[in-house]
């Protein structure tokens, strides 16, 4: 080889020889290249099927697992958000909670506040921006000293029945030691895993954190000192014994209130879950029992039997307080956050305060001195004193339009705001009118003559009379249109719809009775057109032919409450409404026939003195020292609250989070179902 041909070209012949010996291997064809020779999708599908059919079954299972993710497609999540939310709006709340676990997209959709707001609106649950202001604290005394003529007068808030005398006073009850306060720090709901807790007795309530009371902001006076127009003095309550307060369903984390810069945004999912949690606690009887007052404590508490009470939330501040009326002739306002008396109204009544009603900054009290006193809470002065009744005023109720009172003189009287001018005197009852309740256009009254009467509030006309509603006198009434709830000295409750007469009773005696008579004017569309309720029991009634133009005969109460039957003492599922935690009555019997064998322990054993409506439940308090919670729709017993009182129970209050009761033993008991739960955002 010539030298001129020996030049370097970057490789040598040996390299070329090696490359020629190992030619490059062709690249693996893709799946698209393999299918490019087929003309249609059907041919590809047929090829794939033939290939799969040739494989063993074990390999097919492996391929199936690999293909499963390719077959999944989120149809709902791929839709526009508005359409997806519309689909989710048809789901009940348990399905929404489950849907949030499917994927991230569904989690976002399921937690959308608009869905939970709609669920809350259906139940009437409103969000309240937490407020930590406190109403002013005052005590009032004036209008003269008590007269000797009233010193020994006491009606206990209920008149005699037409066929029986009033029961004798029970023996003096044993004094109990005052309860130590419960916890002050409540935990945020979404930070806890709540599964219910055992009901607490007085001896088992934990001690309050020592420093909690110092974190509560003081309530400053906005009123000048000195005498008012009624020559009565007002001053700050400063003689109360310092005491660590019990928190009863109040805003949590008081120690950090000063650092709050803005109100939280409404969280309707939290609101709904909190409400459901409270219902669960009621169904499982999970509560903390405490005493706001015991005999002689605190130092400025009531000094005699407490006849009436009402929970009230100030509209301006959102702070909830408790008003109580007593045989000691005073009305007292309690701060539920501190457990102390904030205001004492005295020197107005000359005898026992038997009934109170608080609404929109106005308090009305009625007593055995035949007086009704209307009090402006903001101005802290008497608005008017009414003395029209001829005997003890047993009950007073009012709304924005009118004030209604009933008396031992067998009359019901109405007065119109703003000047409280007399309107009607309704005098059809044959015995003392023990209770009255009102709505916008209707008045319901219950009497010792065993009748309940329905009145037109605008005209004063008697619309209907429910005779033989109970076997003995009516002692208590609550009215939430279109339903009336009544308690009687026959030891039973009855709930019924005034339009259809459907309802339930705890008395098997009235199971098949046809003696319920509705007299008076028939209820037309003008009176009942405004009535509505989401609680319509699916009961059967058999109306009978009309006996006349103004008389309607109906079986009305030919139904009995839907009790849950099973092994006695065990919680069972109600087939009618799906509620769990109902008390099994024993007997293993289902249907109407079992109601004749209802276990006596589920019924009251004495006069039912007080009743109250809730959204899902109704409550009753009795002279048998117990408070019972009933399913509003079915009449099944949900909870039996006992052990708080040692004397007869005269009045109860319920706001969905707690039950407050008072009685002959001078105790104010609080059965708190919201212990440990932040309820500051719940509209009470």
Task: Please determine, for residue 587, whether its predicted confidence score (pLDDT) is greater than 70.
Answer: no
Please tell me which residue, 87 or 512, carries the higher pLDDT value.
87
| CA 358 from centre of chain | 18
Q: What are phi and psi of 190, to 5 degrees?
A: -75, -5
Q: Is residue 549 pLDDT above 50, yes or no?
A: no
* Domain assignment of residue 372, yes or no: yes
Helix (H) or strand (E) holding 374: strand 372-376
pLDDT at 35 over 80: no
Q: Which residues pair with 310 in a beta bridge?
A: 323
Closest CA to 636 of 672, 599, 605, 610: 599
Task: With cut-offs at 50, 70 and 90, classify the pLDDT of residue 297.
Answer: confident
Question: CA–CA separation, 648 vs 327, rounded Å?
Answer: 14
Q: Match 């020629």 to its residue by tokens.
A: 20
Report whether pLDDT(664) > 60: yes
Q: What number is the average pLDDT over the span 181-187? A: 38
Query: How far from chain centre, in Å, is Cα 670?
Result: 14
The reply to whether omega before 590 is within 30° of 0 (cis) is no
- Higher-pLDDT residue of 531, 72: 72
Residues 231, 3: Cα–Cα separation, whole Å: 137
At 465, which CATH number? 2.130.10.10
**Highest mean pLDDT out of 142-146, 151-155, 587-591:** 151-155
Tell the burial category of 313 from Cβ atoms under 10 Å away from its Cβ (0-12, 13-18, 19+). Answer: middle
Sheet of 483-488, strand order: 474-480, 483-488, 493-497, 503-505
Please give the share of the chain, as a percent, with pLDDT higher than 70.
Answer: 62
Average pLDDT, the chain: 74
Total domains, the chain: 2
CB 461 within 8 A of CB 445: no
CA 639 from chain center: how many Å?
14
Where among 51, 72, 93 does a domain terminate?
Answer: 72
The pairing of strands 138-141 and 340-345 is parallel
Which two tokens mark 536?
């319509």
Q: What's the length of the chain?
A: 684
Rounded to whole angstroms, the Cα distance separating 636 from 655 reads: 20
Distance separating alpha carbons of residues 329 and 37, to the nearest angstrom: 102
Distances (CA, A) of 191 to 186, 187, 194, 355, 449: 11, 7, 9, 41, 54
Both tokens assigned to 200: 């607490």
**232, part of any domain:** no
Query: Is residue 630 a contact partner of residue 659, using CB atoms and an 8 Å limit?
Result: no
Residue 100 C-alpha from the chain's centroid: 28
Task: Please check whether residue 189 lies inside any domain of the structure.
Answer: no
SS3 letters for 190-201? HHCCCCCCCCEC
Q: Is the pLDDT of residue 627 over 70?
A: yes
Q: Per-residue DSSP letters for 447-459?
A: ETTS-EEEEETTT
Q: What is the DSSP letter of 337?
A: T
Residue 228: is its pLDDT beyond 50? no
In 79-135, where does DSSP find H-type helix?
81-88, 93-99, 104-110, 113-123
Q: What is the mean pLDDT of residues 239-263?
A: 41
* Helix, strand, coil % over all residues of the chain, rounded to 5: 20, 30, 55
- If one compares 124 and 206, the residue with the highest pLDDT of the two is 124
Cα four-point dihedral sign 85, 87, 88, 89: positive
Averaged over 330-353, what is the pLDDT? 95
Residues linked to residue 256 through DSSP beta bridges, in sequence order: none
Which helix (DSSP H) or strand (DSSP E) does residue 68 occupy? helix 57-71
Q: Is residue 496 part of a domain?
A: yes
Evaluate whether residue 247 is within a structural domain: no
Over range 255-283, report the average pLDDT: 79
In-domain check, residue 657: yes
**Dihedrals phi, psi of 410, to nearest 5 degrees:** 75, 15
Question: For the segment 98-121, what is each residue's pLDDT rounded down to a tens digit?
Answer: 999 999 999 999 999 999 999 999
Q: CA 225, 231, 236, 238: dihedral to nearest 10 degrees?
A: 130
Which pLDDT does position 181 carry in this prediction? Answer: 39
Please, what is the Cα angle at 304 between 300 and 309, to 5 degrees? 80
Residue whose tokens read 């405490």: 290
Nearest to 136 by CA among 399, 324, 256, 316: 316
Lowest mean pLDDT among 305-309, 551-555, 577-581: 551-555
Dist CA 14 CA 12 (whole Å): 5
Res. 68 pLDDT band, cuts 50 70 90: confident
C-alpha–C-alpha distance, residues 347 and 452, integer Å: 35
The verdict on residue 398 lying in a domain is: yes
Name the pLDDT band for 36 (thresholds 50, 70, 90).
Answer: low
Q: What is the pLDDT of residue 293?
A: 93
Going by pLDDT thresholds of 50, 70 and 90, the confidence category of residue 373 is very high
CA dist 461 and 613 (Å) reads 26
527 pLDDT band, cuts 50/70/90, is: very low
Percent of the chain with pLDDT over 90: 51
- Whether residue 561 lies inside any domain: the answer is no
> Please, which residues bridge with residue 414 across strands?
404, 424
The residue behind tokens 């048998």 is: 624
Please report, for residues 138, 366, 619, 622, the alpha-carbon distance to residue 307 in angstroms, rounded to integers and kept in the order given: 22, 11, 17, 13
Range 609-616 average pLDDT? 95
pLDDT at position 299 over 80: yes
366 pLDDT exceeds 60?
Answer: yes
- Calculate mean pLDDT across residues 192-206: 36
User: Residue 132: which of 295, 300, 261 has the closest Cα?
Assistant: 261
Pairwise CA distance, residues 316 & 133, whole Å: 9
Strand, coil or helix: what is 52?
helix
Please report the pLDDT score of residue 539 as a whole number. Answer: 34
Structure-token pair, residue 570: 């065990």
**Res 503: pLDDT:** 92
What number of H helices and E strands is found in the chain? 11, 35
What range does the domain containing 661 cover? 288-506+605-672
Under 8 Å between Cβ of 251 and 336 = no
321: confidence class by pLDDT, cuts 50, 70, 90: very high
Query: What CA–CA distance (Å, rounded) separates 663 from 625?
Result: 9
Per-residue pLDDT tens digits for 450-499: 999 999 999 999 999 998 779 999 999 999 999 999 999 999 999 999 99
Report which of 183, 243, 37, 223 is spatially closest to residue 678, judged by C-alpha positions.
Answer: 183
Q: Given a cut of 90, is residue 43 above it in pLDDT?
A: no
């Amino acid at each position: 080889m010539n030298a001129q041909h020996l030049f370097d070209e970057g490789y040598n012949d040996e390299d070329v020889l090696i490359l020629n010996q190992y030619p490059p291997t062709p690249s693996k064809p893709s799946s698209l290249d393999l299918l490019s020779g087929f003309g249609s999708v059907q041919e590809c599908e047929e090829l794939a099927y033939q290939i799969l059919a040739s494989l063993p079954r074990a390999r097919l299972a492996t391929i199936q697992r690999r293909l499963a993710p390719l077959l999944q497609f989120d149809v709902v999540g791929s839709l526009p958000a508005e359409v997806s939310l519309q689909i989710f709006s048809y789901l009940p709340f348990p399905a929404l909670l489950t849907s949030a676990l499917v994927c991230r997209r569904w989690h976002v959709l399921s937690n959308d506040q608009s869905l939970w707001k709609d669920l809350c609106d259906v139940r009437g649950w409103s969000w309240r921006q937490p407020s930590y202001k406190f109403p002013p604290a005052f005590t009032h005394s004036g209008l003269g000293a008590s007269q000797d003529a009233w010193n020994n007068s006491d009606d206990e808030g209920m008149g005699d029945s037409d066929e029986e005398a009033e029961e004798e006073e029970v023996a003096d009850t044993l004094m109990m030691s005052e309860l130590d306060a419960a916890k002050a720090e409540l935990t945020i709901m979404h930070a806890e895993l709540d599964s219910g807790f055992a009901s607490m007795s007085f001896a088992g309530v934990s001690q309050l954190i020592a420093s909690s009371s110092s974190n509560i902001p003081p309530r400053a006076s906005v009123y000048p000192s000195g005498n008012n127009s009624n020559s009565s003095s007002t001053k700050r309550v400063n003689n109360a014994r310092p005491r660590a307060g019990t928190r009863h369903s109040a805003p949590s984390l008081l120690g950090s209130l000063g650092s709050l810069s803005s109100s939280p945004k409404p969280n309707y999912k939290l609101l709904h879950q909190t409400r459901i949690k409270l219902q669960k606690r009621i169904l499982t009887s999970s509560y903390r029992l405490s005493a706001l007052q015991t005999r002689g404590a605190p130092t400025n508490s009531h000094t005699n039997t407490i006849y009436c009470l009402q929970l009230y939330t100030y509209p301006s501040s959102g702070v909830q307080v408790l008003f109580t009326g007593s045989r000691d002739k005073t009305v007292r306002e309690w701060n539920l956050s501190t457990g102390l008396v904030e205001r004492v109204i005295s020197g107005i009544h000359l005898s026992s305060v038997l009934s109170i009603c608080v609404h929109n900054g106005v308090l009305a009290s009625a007593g055995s001195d035949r007086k009704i006193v209307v009090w402006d809470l903001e101005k802290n002065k008497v608005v008017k004193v009414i003395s029209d009744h001829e005997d003890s005023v047993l009950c007073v109720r009012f709304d924005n339009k009118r004030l209604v009172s009933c008396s031992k003189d067998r009359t019901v009287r109405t007065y119109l705001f703003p000047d409280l001018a007399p309107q009607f005197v309704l005098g059809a009852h044959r015995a003392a009118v023990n209770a009255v309740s009102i709505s916008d256009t209707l008045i319901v009254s219950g009497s010792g003559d065993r009748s309940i009467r329905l009145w037109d509030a605008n005209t004063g006309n008697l619309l209907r009379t429910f005779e033989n509603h109970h076997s003995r006198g009516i002692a208590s009434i609550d009215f939430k249109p279109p339903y009336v709830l009544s308690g009687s000295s026959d030891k039973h409750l009855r709930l019924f719809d005034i339009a259809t007469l459907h309802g339930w009773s705890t008395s098997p005696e009235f199971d098949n009775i046809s003696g319920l008579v509705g007299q008076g004017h028939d209820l037309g569309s003008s009176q009942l057109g405004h009535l509505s309720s989401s609680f319509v029991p699916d009961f059967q009634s058999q109306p009978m032919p009309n006996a006349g133009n103004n008389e309607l005969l109906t079986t009305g109460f030919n139904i009995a409450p839907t009790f849950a039957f099973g092994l006695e003492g065990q919680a069972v599922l109600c087939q009618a409404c799906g509620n769990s935690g109902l008390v099994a009555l024993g007997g293993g019997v289902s249907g109407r026939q079992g109601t004749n064998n209802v276990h006596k322990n589920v019924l009251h054993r004495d006069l039912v003195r007080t009743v109250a409506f809730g959204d899902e439940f109704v409550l009753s308090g009795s002279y048998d020292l117990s408070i019972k919670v009933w399913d509003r729709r079915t009449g099944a017993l949900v909870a039996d609250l006992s052990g708080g009182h040692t004397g007869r129970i005269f009045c109860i209050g319920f706001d969905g989070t707690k039950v407050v009761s008072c009685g002959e033993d001078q105790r104010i008991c609080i059965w708190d179902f919201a212990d440990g739960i932040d309820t500051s955002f719940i509209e009470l």
